[in-house]
Amino acid sequence: MNAFKDLLTPVQEMKLRALDAWHRALENRQLRMDCPDAYHDELLRQSDEMDRLGIVSWTEWRDLRIEADQAYLRAVAGGDYH
């Protein structure tokens, strides 16, 4: 499957992998239900690390944090139990 080889630059690939990891953490239902605080902390930690490394822009970082906050509020409201 060499058709897709080298379509992304190393920087694009790093960003894609980082965002994929962040979204997998966002979808981690078990952690979200077991410990919403740890769930939220992990999302914030990953978004801050992407910002620190220059992987995401300020706007993207802000949007990730807003999405993390909204997911946390749904978690503490029991959104997974409905």
CB 31, CB 42: distance < 8 Å: yes
pLDDT digits (tens, 9 = 90+) for 18-73: 999 999 999 999 999 999 999 999 999 999 999 999 999 999 999 999 999 999 99
- How many whole angstroms from its chain centre is CA 1? 28
Ordered by start, the domain boundaries in the chain are 11-77
Give the residue carrying structure tokens 């994929």.
20
pLDDT tier for residue 7 given thresholds of 50, 70 and 90: confident
Confidence (pTM) = 0.87
Question: What pLDDT was estimated at residue 59?
Answer: 98
